[in-house]
Amino acid sequence: MLQPEADIHLDHLKHNYLAIKKMVGAAEVMAVIKANAYGHGAIPIAHVLSDMGVHGFCVALGSEAVELINAGIREPILHLGKITSDNFELYNSGQVHCTINSIEDLLELKENASANSPIFAHLKIDTGMGRMGVRFENAESIIQMLSETPEIRVEGVYSHFATAEENDTKYRDWQLDQFRKVIKLANSILPDIKYFHIANSAGILNCPDSHFNMVRPGISLYGISPLGKPHHSLNPVMKMKAPVVLVKKMNAGDSVGYSRLYTAEKDEKIALLQAGYADGIPTVFSNSGSVEIKGSQYPIIGKVSMDLIAINCGEDTIKEGDEAVFWGGEHENTRLEYLAIKYKKIPYEFLTGVSTRVARNLINE
């Protein structure tokens, strides 16, 4: 069937997980598989990591936790998002641990739990990200309140870096110092807390002091470094590709696609690929990007449309059915770290933008 496809290399996922485990030593790994495992497919990714011995999973939405539970996942699931009443059944199950982001969250949990059937939670402290989490100056008061609330079992305390991927580490190091102060407070008031975590993928890769006894890798699990260049220990899990569906001759002066962004300067041969922005190929590739076919690079010409993309074949023989790779191929130009820099995007956008009509092929070599 001629359609865009994403090869999901589960062997690369296993490799990346083991590489991360080696980096973090005894720290437990909570794999971040929100947003359909960054476009890779949450269920197969979760099952592979479960078989590898991962401690648990992080999700953004309650519905993502439900999806994992219905698929037979039994590891702990940390819901990173806002506490809502429609998720209390999940929290009461004991498998899904909620995040306390405010004193209001604490009070709402207290009303819906009991000392005999406590709700497991992680407390998030905002050490400088400026998003979710209790403000740093309120950390001591809420930890004290939690120590007096047997209805809530606080299993972990965490925070999130704002700049861990940047070369200038001053702000990151300041956040880390703030978090260390939180840990000291928590240990003095709630000594039974098991886990402290702040390291995302960037923290895992470039800040060993942030690993503590739990880490939350996201994009690094999928073989992409957030540090701006590929990491030698990581292999891309996704190969995004599309088939050639038509090869045709163009005469000098002929134009290609919407808005006639490309006009042939001489007689040439082009190929049409069955993929477009409806599949997650960004329109910034118009007249700018390239694809890899059999190890060679071919420029994208004209505008990326909803379902089709044109490339210039040059003098090479390209046939219908040939595989064109947008990212995750062998050529350096197909590495998302470099594509993100070229187009002033972040790698996450490419991965999470892959749509549901793209077939995911699970490959375990």
211/287 same-domain check: no
Look up residue 296 and give its amino acid. S
Per-residue pLDDT tens digits for 245-259:
999 999 999 999 999
306/200 same-domain check: no
Evaluate whether residue 228 is within a structural domain.
no
**Domain, as residue range, for 44:** 10-222
What integer best gives the mean pLDDT of the chain?
Answer: 96
DSSP state of 355: -
| pLDDT exceeds cutoff 80 at 1 | no
The whole-number average pLDDT for the span 98-126 is 92
Positions marked active-site? 34, 258
pLDDT, position 80: 98
CA distance linking residue 185 with residue 150, whole number of Å? 18
Look up residue 232 and give its amino acid. H
Evaluate whether residue 198 is within a structural domain.
yes
243/318 same-domain check: yes
How far is the CA of 255 from the CAs of 246, 258, 281, in angstroms? 16, 9, 21
Give me the sign of the Cα torsion angle 269, 274, 276, 280: negative
Pick from 181, 196, 222: which residue ends a domain?
A: 222
CB 324 within 8 A of CB 334: no
Evaluate whether residue 229 is within a structural domain.
no
Domain holding 116: CATH number?
Answer: 3.20.20.10
The whole-number average pLDDT for the span 255-264 is 95
Domain holding 271: CATH number?
Answer: 2.40.37.10
144/205 same-domain check: yes
345/259 same-domain check: yes
Left if phi > 0, otherwise alpha if psi is -120 to 50, otherwise beta: which for 203?
Answer: alpha
Q: Is residue 195 within a helix (H) or strand (E), and if so which, with residue range?
A: strand 195-197
The whole-number average pLDDT for the span 92-105 is 95
CB 343 within 8 A of CB 335: no
Q: Which residues contact 337 (CB under 8 A, 6 or more apart)?
A: 224, 225, 227, 228, 229, 230, 347
The whole-number average pLDDT for the span 226-248 is 97
Task: Kindly report the pTM of this predicted structure.
Answer: 0.95
Evaluate whether residue 227 is within a structural domain.
no
Of the listed ranges 95-104, 111-120, 243-252, 328-337, the one predicted with least confidence: 111-120
| pLDDT exceeds cutoff 90 at 114 | no
Per-residue pLDDT tens digits for 284-332:
999 999 999 999 999 999 999 999 999 999 888 999 999 999 999 988 8
Pick from 179, 195, 222: which residue ends a domain?
A: 222
Per-residue pLDDT tens digits for 141-178:
999 999 999 999 999 999 999 999 999 999 999 999 99
pLDDT, position 113: 82
Per-residue pLDDT tens digits for 121-140:
999 999 999 999 999 999 99
* Total of domains in the chain: 2
CB 279 within 8 A of CB 4: yes
CA 212 to chain centre: 21
Evaluate whether residue 173 is within a structural domain.
yes
The whole-number average pLDDT for the span 80-100 is 94
300/196 same-domain check: no
CA distance linking residue 8 with residue 363, whole number of Å? 6
Pick from 172, 198, 222: which residue ends a domain?
A: 222
Evaluate whether residue 4 is within a structural domain.
no
Percent of the chain's residues with pLDDT above 90: 93
196/133 same-domain check: yes
pLDDT, position 331: 86
Q: Where are the alpha helices (DSSP H) in the chain?
A: 10-24, 34-38, 42-52, 62-70, 88-92, 103-111, 139-147, 170-189, 201-206, 336-342, 347-352
Evaluate whether residue 78 is within a structural domain.
yes
Evaluate whether residue 232 is within a structural domain.
no
34/155 same-domain check: yes
Per-residue pLDDT tens digits for 33-85:
999 999 999 999 999 999 999 999 999 999 999 999 999 999 999 999 999 98
CB 261 within 8 A of CB 287: yes
Q: How open is the CA angle 254-257-263, to the nearest 5 degrees?
A: 35
CA distance linking residue 27 with residue 210, whole number of Å? 11
Per-residue pLDDT tens digits for 274-285:
999 999 999 999
255/173 same-domain check: no
CA distance linking residue 257 with residue 329, whole number of Å? 26
175/262 same-domain check: no
pLDDT, position 116: 83
In 3D space, the residue among 34, 37, 43, 45 whose CA is nearest the CA of residue 12 turns out to be 45
The whole-number average pLDDT for the span 103-119 is 89
110/179 same-domain check: yes
16/70 same-domain check: yes
